[in-house]
Amino acid sequence: MIAEAEEELLTINDMLRWALSRFYEAELYFGHGTDNAWDEAVALVLQSLHLPPDVDQRVLSARLTQTERKQILKLVKQRVRSRVPLPYLTHVAWFCGLPFYVDERVLIPRSPMAELIEQHFKPWFSEEGPQQVLDLCTGGGCIAIAIAHYLPDAEVTASDLSKEALAVATMNAEQHQVAVEFIKSDLFDAIPEQQFDLIISNPPYVNLDEMKTLPKEYHHEPTMALKAEDDGLAIVDNILQVAPNYLTDDGYLIVEVGNSDETLVERYPDVPFVWLDFERGGSGVFLLSAQDLKQYFVK
Ligand SMILES: C[S@@+](CC[C@H](N)C(=O)[O-])C[C@H]1O[C@@H](n2cnc3c(N)ncnc32)[C@H](O)[C@@H]1O
């Protein structure tokens, strides 16, 4: 089938249609940058050709070279056979309108918190946004780097337990030419005593039962980026207990907890979590003020 495709598919449009058919045929799962087969086909073909996502539609009828055809067919084959998420094959993931290098050392960026960054965290902060920011569990650095990009006056610190992830994050910061201080730390353990206006985190929060039901694509991501003991709340709990010591009096904590939101509310029914809404979709992100954290979590 591949040999036939290589010979008969001539244009970008031909490739898009063929990739789409293969994706439907294989019943792939989409959740790493795209959420449907068409967007995944577009991402695969355009990234393979080094074309931007908003490329002029007129190029779609342009013919491809044999080398380009081979490369696209190879990627489609890999995506279908191995179920590796596309960004690990092309090594590009988009977050906050910025491209990030990714490989299997880091989670593929997809947090809805991107919208908060693009909006400078309004209405919780003024237009200038927070000045001292800590991104806990930074992975490949997407949140920290996007904050440094959108809020150039902010001083951004970012940490992760995985030195492999931090190597990717450092590379991404260099590529985007932003200054982020990266620290290898088990949550707050190695963070110097300092007060931040904003602590933001997308920590691991998938409970053990949910881990077993995840589509194959997720099992290519680092387990330590997803799995959390204690009903998915082991890491989140630690953040809630310790964050108050690291926040200014008028600071905020923002944490993504995904599907573990109900468990969190059941565990802390009195805590006034503010659950944030997102225009582009996504949920399971809460905000808490330093004052509320101190009231409910400092004994
Ligand atoms: C869900 S990923 C988030 C990555 C990135 N912030 C993002 O939004 O794409 C969680 C990250 O937490 C890190 N991590 C897991 N346990 C940790 C711990 N105890 N202390 C610090 N980081 C930890 C993992 O290595 C992983 O990079």
Atom index in ligand 1 nearest the CA of residue 165 equals: 27
Whether residue 1 is predicted with pLDDT greater than 80 in this model: the reply is: no
Q: How confident is the model at residue 46 (pLDDT cuts 50, 70, 90)?
A: very high
Q: How confident is the model at residue 3 (pLDDT cuts 50, 70, 90)?
A: confident
Q: What share of the chain is helix, strand, coil (3-state, %, to 5)?
A: 45, 15, 40
Predicted pLDDT of residue 2? 80
Is 142 near ligand 1, meaning CB less than 6 Å away? yes
Atom index in ligand 1 nearest the CA of residue 201 equals: 6
Pocket mutation for ligand 1, best pick of 161, 170, 214 (most atoms within 8 Å of C-beta):
161
Rounded to the nearest whole angstrom, what is the distance from the C-alpha of residue 218 to the centroid of ligand 1? 15
Query: Average pLDDT, stretch 152-177?
Result: 98
Whether residue 273 is predicted with pLDDT greater than 90 in this model: the reply is: yes
- Residue % of the chain over a pLDDT of 90: 94
Is 102 near ligand 1, meaning CB less than 6 Å away? no
Rounded to the nearest whole angstrom, what is the distance from the C-alpha of residue 272 to the centroid of ligand 1? 25
Average pLDDT over the chain, rounded to an integer: 96
What tens digit of pLDDT does each residue of 84-111 get? 999 999 999 999 999 999 999 999 999 9
pTM, full prediction: 0.95
Beta strands in the chain (DSSP E): 93-95, 98-100, 132-136, 155-160, 180-184, 196-201, 247-256, 274-275, 285-289
Is 243 near ligand 1, meaning CB less than 6 Å away? no
Rounded to the nearest whole angstrom, what is the distance from the C-alpha of residue 290 to the centroid of ligand 1? 22
- Smallest CA separation from ligand 1 atom 17, residue: 161
Predicted pLDDT of residue 53? 86
CA dihedral 27, 28, 34, 38 (to 10 degrees): -40
Is 43 near ligand 1, meaning CB less than 6 Å away? no
Rounded to the nearest whole angstrom, what is the distance from the C-alpha of residue 17 to the centroid of ligand 1? 37
Cα–Cα distances (Å) from 200 to 11, 204, 218, in that order, read 44, 13, 23
Rounded to the nearest whole angstrom, what is the distance from the C-alpha of residue 139 to the centroid of ligand 1? 5
Domain residue extents for the chain:
2-90, 107-297
Predicted pLDDT of residue 203? 98
Rounded to the nearest whole angstrom, what is the distance from the C-alpha of residue 45 to the centroid of ligand 1? 30
Rounded to the nearest whole angstrom, what is the distance from the C-alpha of residue 234 to the centroid of ligand 1? 13
Predicted pLDDT of residue 247? 98
Q: CATH second-level architecture of 107-297?
A: 3-Layer(aba) Sandwich (3.40)
Is 203 near ligand 1, meaning CB less than 6 Å away? yes
Cα–Cα distances (Å) from 40 to 45, 65, 88, 168, 215, in that order, read 9, 22, 13, 24, 16
Rounded to the nearest whole angstrom, what is the distance from the C-alpha of residue 235 to the centroid of ligand 1? 10
In 3-state terms, what secondary structure has residue 256? strand
